[in-house]
Amino acid sequence: MIAPTRMALMAACALSLTAPAARALDLDNMTPGEQEAFGAAVRSYLLENPQVILEAVDVLEQQQQQAEAARDDALVKANLQELQDDGYSWVGGNPEGDITLVEFMDYRCGYCRKAAPEVEALLAADKNIRFVVKEFPILGEASMVSSRFAVATKMVAGDEAYKNIHDTLIAFQGEPNEVALRRMAEGLSLDADAILAKMDDPEVTDQIQRTRTLAQTLSISGTPTFVLEDEMLRGYLPADQLQIMIDTIRENRN
């Protein structure tokens, strides 16, 4: 079955293909008989050459993708400061790196979990990448609790503690209840009481809300979403593909 969107595109393309002829014949001033003959001729041609519509659909889809990419580029460039240096998001890799990679992530997202080792491999192989994590809990209460715990950990115990909790949460398969979170913190020799108490702090709420607002501005609705320098990359990407993109950016700078 052809998807409804593609069917709509096919209809639009059929109209566009006939438009020049229609203008030349001035359909508004044709007699009913002439209109009927013209419609029959167009129908016959398209039935005999259906590939014309499919080719036109492909071109239209490419144009739409290019338009969406251009829109993404404009949005990213307009919000680059908030993306790369908001003053609160955790920064890893090489903070002085020549390439900045931003990830909007959710601890309960399966593809974020799949992406985590790929990002680690990328940062291990390329020591000149600055990596920014955006806490973007969108998959329910468990996601929100996990992000609050991570953000609170950074506020209470600093960047290294955040990284350790972040890595623990992204691999954690259970429910992030108080018992589990306390066990995580204590297992990393962190002050569990202080972190748990900080989770409901207005500053934690504000940071998560700021990231959510930024995501809405950028039309980001899924995780993971990466922003590589000024390019939006929606969805999971393996390390080797990210590295190729990074190498291309560097080459284009020279």
**Does residue 15 register a pLDDT over 60?**
no
Decide if 170 contacts 113 (C-beta within 8 A).
Answer: yes
Smallest CA-to-CA distance from 98 within 190, 234, 229, 225 is with 229
CB 232 within 8 A of CB 110: no
Q: What is the pLDDT of residues 147-169, one digit of tens each?
A: 999 999 999 999 999 999 999 99
- How many residues does the structure list for the chain? 254
pLDDT at 167: 98
Residue 1 is predicted with a pLDDT of 45
| Four-residue CA torsion sign, 226, 232, 238, 243 | negative
pLDDT in tens, 112-137: 999 999 999 999 999 999 999 999 99
**What's the CATH architecture for 81-253?**
3-Layer(aba) Sandwich (3.40)
Give me the pLDDT at residue 228, please: 97
- pTM for this model (two decimals): 0.76
In this predicted model, what pLDDT tens digit does every residue of 173-197 receive, in sequence order?
999 999 999 999 999 999 999 999 9
Q: How many CB atoms are located within 10 Å of the residue 57 CB?
A: 20
Do the beta carbons of residue 108 and residue 138 sit within 8 Å?
no
Q: Pick the more confident residue, 170 or 61.
A: 170
Rounded mean pLDDT, 88-108: 98
Q: Region 8-35: what's the mean pLDDT?
A: 59
pLDDT at 25: 58
pLDDT of the residue at 26:
67
> Mean of the pLDDT values across residues 70-81?
89
Question: What DSSP string describes the chain?
Answer: ---HHHHHHHHHHHHHHHHHHHHHHTGGGS-HHHHHHHHHHHHHHHHH-THHHHHHHHHHHHHHHHHHHHHHHHHHHHTHHHHH--SSSEEEE-TT-SEEEEEEE-TT-HHHHHHHHHHHHHHHH-TTEEEEEEE---S-HHHHHHHHHHHHHHHHH-HHHHHHHHHHHHH--S---HHHHHHHHHHTT--HHHHHHHTT-HHHHHHHHHHHHHHHHTT--SSSEEEETTEEEES---HHHHHHHHHHHHHHH-
Judge whether residue 63 has pLDDT over 50: yes
How far, in Å, CA of 112 to CA of 103, rounded? Answer: 9
Q: CA–CA separation, 199 vs 6, rounded Å?
A: 46
Residue 50: band (very low, low, confident or very high) from pLDDT cuts 50, 70, 90? confident
Per-residue tokens: 39: 């419609």
pLDDT in tens, 190-216: 999 999 999 999 999 999 999 999 999
Please report, for the chain, the start and end positions of each structural domain, with discontinuous segments joined by +. 4-78, 81-253
Half-sphere exposure for 185 (CA within 13 Å, toward CB): 25
The yes-or-no verdict on residue 18 having pLDDT over 60 is no
With cut-offs at 50, 70 and 90, classify the pLDDT of residue 24.
Answer: low
Distance CA 242, CA 63 (A): 24
pLDDT at 20: 52
Q: What is the mean pLDDT of the chain?
A: 89
Report how far residue 113's alpha carbon sits from residue 242's, in angstroms, rounded to the nearest whole number: 16
Q: Which residues contact 42 (CB under 8 A, 6 or more apart)?
A: 18, 21
* pLDDT category of residue 61 using cuts at 50, 70 and 90: confident
- pLDDT at position 39: 80
Distance CA 228, CA 76 (A): 10
Q: Give the percent of the chain with pLDDT over 70.
A: 88
pLDDT: is 164 or 67 the higher one?
164
